[in-house]
Chains A and B, each alone.
Chain A
Amino acid sequence: MIEKDLNQIFQDRIDADDRIEARDWMPEKYRQTLIRQISQHAHSEVVGMLPEANWISRAPSLRRKVALLAKVQDEAGHGLYLYSAAETLGAKRSDLLQQLIDGTAKYSSIFNYPTLTWADIGAIGWLVDGAAIMNQVMLCRTSYGPYARAMVRICKEESFHQRQGYEIMIALSQGSEEQKAMAQDALNRWWWPSLMMFGPNDAESKHTAQSMAWRIKRKTNDELRQAFVDSSISQIEYLGLTAPDKDLKWNEERGHYDFGAIDWDEFWQVVKGHGPCNKERIAARRKAQEEGKWVQEAAMAYAAKRKQRAQDQQTRVA
């Protein structure tokens, strides 16, 4: 069959809402787009452990500590589900990890901001995981089967992350003046970066149109961002806090909240590596990889020795 026919058959399947599975024919660009997107997503889960792990040893109670520990462990698990989905497309795990530490692969920019106070752990769970959930719920219906199935697992687990974050925010905002100020400060610092998580405006986004046509994405960056703002406002009000946006107001006509302009210069600065923590994050990943290398080698040597021993024993019995 000629390539043009294959492309048409593929697009017809997408349009009929069929799911694409690992061994099916797919356009090379579809494969590459997915490997890029899924591995970036996996890297985000893995790097996302770093800002939160910063507070595990200093969590204010055992209850908060076990919750944070479980959340960080989940993020590791999410990274693993996603790497395994990327591998179904023919990507090699070791290549993907290498691309993360040599900077050729991106991860979500939000994790290049520091966690300065305990309230940041609340704000991350509530806002950052909340924004991620908006995106991930949509991806449960993405056209590539293994990616969609990984997302279903992830979404089931994410809900606890957001609730534990919001619970931290409730405790702080109902606490002393100092604690309330800490909660407001965390909201001030995480609000705009959370809105940036959805990516550039639709008009500026170079991948959106093709990804929508292939049903990798089913909603645009701006649609998801608007849904996130709309769902967050009553949660902010319940806490008695204020979003750091003077242009934020309900628009009766649109049935949505209007919000102020996003500082895209800041976004691109952080994407390009000039955020507050980019270097620190990559250095931590590189250290983990280099210092963990001997474990990988030792485990392989041990597995080979055990196999050999079992074979020798069998030969002797025979």
Chain B
Amino acid sequence: MDNTWPLWEVFIRSKNGLSHKHVGSLHAADEDMAIENARDVYTRRQEGVSIWVVESKHISASNPSKSEELYDPAKNKIYRHPTFYDIPDEVGHM
């Protein structure tokens, strides 16, 4: 039997008001141990107020070789940005 503990991805909220951010991964037997290990490995200097762990196998990622077809269509849609529209200076800040 393979007794290697599964791999977990760790996300930390550095302070309330901010999103959780990916910080790395670790091995643990279950989710409780993953959170305890994440506390020891990634927050030894109060780097966080909240921890998320998710088993790495549950993460789906986009394929980097398809980045052109995924992201390029947004490139020529400059009308989605506020600076595309001309507003006279007299109107003031908008």
Contact = CB atoms under 8 A, between A and B. Distances in A.
A306 B29 CA distance: 11
Given A77-B41, A150-B24, A296-B5, A303 B29 contact: yes
Interface in A267-296: 293, 296
Given A24-B64, A25-B65, A80 B5 contact: no
A80 B24 CA distance: 9
B25 A87 contact: yes
A84 interface: yes
Given A74-B44, A77-B44, A300 B5 contact: yes
B53 interface: no
Contact of B29 (A80, A84, A150, A302): A302
| Interface residues of A, dominant DSSP | helix
Given A77-B41, A77-B44, A150-B24, A300 B64 contact: no
A37 B68 CA distance: 32
A80 B26 CA distance: 7
Contacts, number: 55
A315 interface: no
Interface in B61-93: 61, 63-65
Contacts of B24: 81, 84-85, 149-150, 153
Contacts of B5: 296, 299-300
Q: How large is the interface on A (under 10, 10 to 19, 20 to 34, 35 or more residues)?
A: 20 to 34
Contacts of A297: 3
Nearest to A150: B24
Nearest to A293: B3
A21 interface: yes
Interface in A71-101: 73-74, 77, 80-81, 84-85, 87-88, 92-94
A299 B44 CA distance: 24
Contact of B3 (A87, A92, A296): A296
Contacts of A87: 7, 25
Contacts of B63: 23
A77 B64 CA distance: 30
A180 B30 CA distance: 51
B12 to A, nearest CB: 11
Interface in B12-56: 23-27, 29-30, 33, 40-41, 44-45
Given A23-B61, A93-B7, A293-B3, 8 more contacts: A23-B63, A24-B64, A25-B65, A73-B44, A84-B26, A93-B4, A157-B45, A306-B30
